[in-house]
Amino acid sequence: MLTLEQYTELAAQAHGHICAGQILGLRMAMHGLELLGLDDPTGAHRKRLVTFVEIDRCATDAIGVVTGCRLGKRALKFRDWGKMAATFCDLESGRAVRVVALESSKQKAREMFPETASKGEQQIRAYAVMEAGELFSWQWVKVRVGAEDLPGFKAPRVSCARCGEGINFQREVMRDGEALCRGCAGEQYWEPVGE
């Protein structure tokens, strides 16, 4: 693994800026991988790791920088729970650890750097040097990663019986013997408008 400083440079390039969330995400991923004993996530351990993130904020981009996990590679999984948390899964060993940012770390940052007026700057400085136990709680968990969720999974593509759009990765919903996409099955996040 790289140093925090090296990852910070990569995160700035990937995300466009450095903020407290970026530092927190870098540290979270580094800690999760350390607990799993994976020291080469973008090299030798690249195909062993799947990461679940629970928030769509800056930290998620930073986690991807450290782990190498990406949505497009099917190694990064997003669960919209609004929590500053991530679960790191070693597919080879079957071990997984869920790491959660502690709310108390914000107050600790204020205490560590009271001379710094900006809370964001306080957090950037503090999160870079705080002990892992001051930043995070973690627990070993069991995660079922089905074959259909693995990187490299291939399955027949089916067409939705209503709209005709293709559906990958066994994400169809069966209703009355018909394969439907999730939108036609009632899970739409959009609604059509007249043209």
What's 171's domain CATH number?
3.30.60
Percent above pLDDT 70 for the chain: 100
Please count the other Cβ atoms lying within 10 Å of the Cβ belonging to residue 103. 8
pLDDT of residue 5: 95
133 plus 64 within the same structural domain = yes
Residue 79 lies in a domain: yes
113 lies in the same domain as 172? no
Q: Phi then psi for 11, rounded to 5 degrees? A: -65, -40
| Residue 112 confidence (pLDDT) above 80 | yes
State whether 164 and 87 are in the same domain: no
Give residue 168's domain range.
Answer: 155-187
Phi, psi of 23 (to 5 degrees): -65, -45
Q: Could you identify the residue written with the tokens 């996530």? A: 41
Question: For residue range 140-181, what is the model confidence (pLDDT) as tens digits?
Answer: 999 998 888 888 888 789 999 999 999 988 889 999 999 999
Residues 15 and 111 in one domain: yes
Q: Considering the chain, what is the average pLDDT of its residues?
A: 93
Same domain? For 124 and 172 the reply is no
Does residue 32 lie in a domain region? yes
CATH number at residue 126: 3.30.1330.130
- For the residues 94-105, what does the mean pLDDT come to? 96
| Confidence check: pLDDT of 195 > 80 | no
Q: What is the pLDDT of residue 148?
A: 81
Same domain, 95 and 39: yes
- The answer, yes or no, to whether residue 36 has pLDDT greater than 90, is yes
Q: Is the per-residue pLDDT at 83 higher than 90? A: yes
Residue 173: in which H helix or E strand, if any?
strand 173-175
| 191 — pLDDT class (breaks 50, 70, 90) | confident
Give yes or no for residue 61 having a pLDDT over 80: yes
Strand partners, 166: 159
Backbone φ and ψ of 19, nearest 5°: -140, 175
pLDDT value, residue 147: 83
Position 193 in a domain: no
User: What is the pTM (predicted TM-score) of this model?
Assistant: 0.86
Distance CA 159, CA 127 (A): 48
Q: Are 128 and 122 in contact (CB under 8 A)?
A: no
Same structural domain, 141 and 45: yes
Examine the domain organization and report whether 144 and 169 are in the same domain.
Answer: no
pLDDT of residue 174: 94
Same domain, 97 and 39: yes
pLDDT of residue 152: 80
